[in-house]
Amino acid sequence: MKLQQLYSQVRQAIEDYDMIQANDRIAIGISGGKDSITLLYALAGLRHFYPVPFEIVAVTVDLGFKGFSLEPIQKLCEDLQVEYHIIHTQIGEIVFEERKESSPCSLCAKMRKGALNNAVKELGCNKVAYAHHMDDIIETVFLSMIYEGRFYAFPPVTHLDRCDLTVIRPLMYVLEADVIGFKNKYQLPIVKNPCPADGSTHREYIKQLVRQINLENPGAKKRLFHAITTGNIEGWKYYGKK
């Protein structure tokens, strides 16, 4: 995927779901993985020609794992002229050593989001951009149906009343395969996830299931995504042209 195609798909999502207003200060949650770095590239470029002015700030919640270097991310943010902040925590130690969670992902995610939200409020941001792409949304629906018995996907835009922040998901129209292609084409500085649970979760199982469905039924991912966008899920209010 070329940069112009990324700009186009991200801009379309922003406009279809009214994600950005004039003078927003948007924090981008940077994990160091391909998805968040791709989102950083997209919003860093779009801010220069989008019809309304907005600011971006890159923020990483450091979980405290040893050997996790963020120097490549710092260098990239300097090159893109994006303000960058690292929030140091001991979440990894709490989840894996103190609590010894057998299913750590839920607690870790809750603590990580809490740390991120507190930090971005202190930085004067009114919005947080998450790097969920089309595959993430489809996989979330499968997770909800199989493990919770409901048809649900996180909305493109979510207002968090408790901390008065709005979450946006500008990568929602981008397939993971295109993110991988973008990463390879532009040689993104990816930082490997040091989490001990990485790759052994329910989400990874669902990812492989959806991948197999799409292999056996070419185009199934986009049809599944269309079903989600037209499925009257709460929070999926569409503002774009019909």
Rounded to 5 degrees, φ, ψ at 76 are -60, -45
Reported as a pLDDT band with limits 50, 70 and 90, residue 51 is: very high
Sheet holding 157-160, edge to edge: 83-88, 54-62, 24-29, 127-129, 165-168, 157-160
Three-state DSSP class for 10? helix
Dig out the tokens for 226 from the structure. Answer: 């269309």
In whole angstroms, give the CA distance from residue 207 to residue 62: 25
In whole angstroms, give the CA distance from residue 151 to residue 30: 28
Mean pLDDT estimate for the chain = 89
With beta carbons less than 8 A apart as the criterion, state whether 131 and 29 touch: yes
Span 24-48, pLDDT tens digits? 999 999 988 999 999 999 999 999 9
Rounded to 5 degrees, φ, ψ at 219 are 90, 0
- How many other CB atoms are there within 10 angstroms of residue 46's CB atom? 18
List the domains of the chain with CATH numbers.
3-229 (3.40.50.620)
Reported as a pLDDT band with limits 50, 70 and 90, residue 102 is: low
In whole angstroms, give the CA distance from residue 233 to residue 81: 37
**Shortest CA distance to 173 belongs to which of 140, 224, 225, 134?**
134
Dig out the tokens for 157 from the structure. Answer: 């835009």
Percentage of residues in the chain with pLDDT exceeding 70? Answer: 88
Instruction: Kindly provide the residue ranges of all beta strands, DSSP E only, lying in the chain, ordered along the sequence.
Output: 24-29, 54-62, 83-88, 127-129, 157-160, 165-168
Q: What is the CA radius of gyration of the chain?
A: 18
Spatial neighbors of 146 by CB under 8 A, at least 6 apart, are 206
* pLDDT of 101 strictly over 80: no
25 exposure class (CB count in 10 Å sphere: 0-12, 13-18, 19+): middle
* pLDDT of 63 strictly over 80: no
- The secondary structure of residue 129, as a DSSP letter, is E
* Prediction pTM value: 0.90
